[in-house]
Structure 1
Amino acid sequence: MEIKPRDRILQAASELFYRQGIKATGVDAIAALAGSNKMSLYKHFPSKDDLVIAFLRKRDADFRAWFVAQIDGRAEHPQDKLLAVFDVIGEWLAIPEFRGCAFINAAAEFPLEGNPVHQVSAEFYDQFRVYIGTLAGECGIASPENLALQLSLLVEGAIVSEQMKRHSGAAEQAKQAASVLIQNSLNASNTTY
């Protein structure tokens, strides 16, 4: 089955944006890798910003589906799923193609909070925290949003640490810290009832 021109362009942009950075990647390079031209690129994406947003939205949908499937395939109980988050992240950090988190990278390249690229990146982590908070709530934790923020910070820190120094063991260290936070949250929730 032939890939549609729009999808080829988005695929090429995704590869280059992740590997080289958004600002370092020109539309000529994207069009060339997609086997297209700038006219076709702009027909499907009126601006580079539109292409960047499409890249991030697709990355969000793809990553979220993959991530949740990985977690669900490893654990049934919400507490075990919370810890499995760090196993899945650890495996992702270990792949040779790892270049950091596309959303953290994009937010760093577009640091102003009002920028649409920054906003889409922030939305990704907002949704990630909601997912973690839902699991924490299913464990009976009294303040699931607090634990979700704490665990999310551990994940984000592990990602950046691994990006800065490969094979750092950051995901395993984050998992150990997460285990303590989860247990403390469970203990605190059990004493309030």
Structure 2
Amino acid sequence: MVGMTSNPYFAASAPIPARDRILRTAQDLFYRQGIRATGVDRIIAEAGVTKVTFYRHFPSKDVLIQAYLERRHAAWMAWFREALSSSRAAQPEAERRRAPLVPVLDAARAWFGLADFRGCAFANTVAEAGEAALPIASIAAQHKHEVRDAIAALLSPNVRARADIAWAATLALDGAAVNAQLGQASTDAALDGLRILLDALGSRPPLP
């Protein structure tokens, strides 16, 4: 998971209860190291809790992974919606009509620019989960649908295939996030490609 101090959608706080401490430790380690590479013993040690305390709150690692994704989903979506809203508010009215998906590009630029950026936590976790993927995939699917809905809200209700355009923009964002993990040159190329795709998607004509 992304670092708690450098990430705008996870704020640092005062000392917290054991369950939250476990979750915060897990979300950092799972995102940075992956769910397979991160063992329960390491989470227990870094969270500063006992095994009894850990298993009282999370009977298994799979339960912890699901809680991690649910927590990240809520926090990331709050950040993403605010990023879209702020960017849209800064657009001149003419640009909103001409290029309604610019806020997605602005949000992507901010996201990819984080020092601890490691791509999409949901895609990464599903890819690692293997046989445990079903409940995890359900959370990931919900996340992607809400990303699509947030993007759709940028588009006029009169735009043809509004939901399809928003879904295509979501896929474009996902693809850019994968490539942005490969270094600065790849990040720049990913953002350039994303801009082209979003411009094309946002220029669809309204319904007659």
TM-score normalised by the chain length of structure 1: 0.88
CA drift at 1:14: 0.5
**Alignment map for 1:32-111 (pairs within 5 Å):** 32-76=45-89, 82-111=101-130
**CA pair 67-33 structure 1, distance change in 2 beyond 3 A:** same
**CA pair 111-171 structure 1, distance change in 2 beyond 3 A:** farther
Q: 1:175 corresponds to which residue?
A: 195
Q: 1:158 corresponds to which residue?
A: 176
Give aligned pairs, total.
187
Larger helix proportion, structure 1 or 2?
1
Q: 2:160 corresponds to which residue?
A: 142
CA drift at 1:160: 0.5
AA aligned to 1:130 is D
CA drift at 1:173: 2.1
- Give the secondary structure class of the aligned counterpart of 2:166: helix
AA aligned to 1:26 is G
**Uncovered stretches (5+) of structure 2, i.e. residues with no partner:** 1-13
> Is the contact between residue 13 and residue 30 of structure 1 (CA under 8 Å) also seen in structure 2?
yes
AA aligned to 1:50 is V
- Mapped to 2, the partners of 1:5 and 1:30 lie a distance apart of 12
- Mapped to 2, the partners of 1:20 and 1:6 lie a distance apart of 21
User: RMSD across aligned C-alpha pairs, in angstroms?
Assistant: 1.9
TM-score normalised by the chain length of structure 2: 0.82
AA aligned to 1:5 is A
**CA pair 120-163 structure 1, distance change in 2 beyond 3 A:** same
Question: Quick one: higher RCO (CA 8 Å, sep 6+), 1 or 2?
Answer: 2
> Is the contact between residue 83 and residue 178 of structure 1 (CA under 8 Å) also seen in structure 2?
yes
**CA pair 53-7 structure 1, distance change in 2 beyond 3 A:** same
- Mapped to 2, the partners of 1:113 and 1:146 lie a distance apart of 30
CA drift at 1:181: 1.7
**Alignment map for 1:19-38 (pairs within 5 Å):** 19-38=32-51
> Is the contact between residue 134 and residue 144 of structure 1 (CA under 8 Å) also seen in structure 2?
no
- Mapped to 1, the partners of 2:153 and 2:59 lie a distance apart of 37
> Is the contact between residue 66 and residue 135 of structure 2 (CA under 8 Å) also seen in structure 1?
yes
- Mapped to 2, the partners of 1:152 and 1:113 lie a distance apart of 25
- Give the secondary structure class of the aligned counterpart of 1:159: helix
Percent of residue pairs bearing the same amino acid type: 35
CA drift at 1:38: 1.8
CA drift at 1:140: 2.3
AA aligned to 2:174 is E
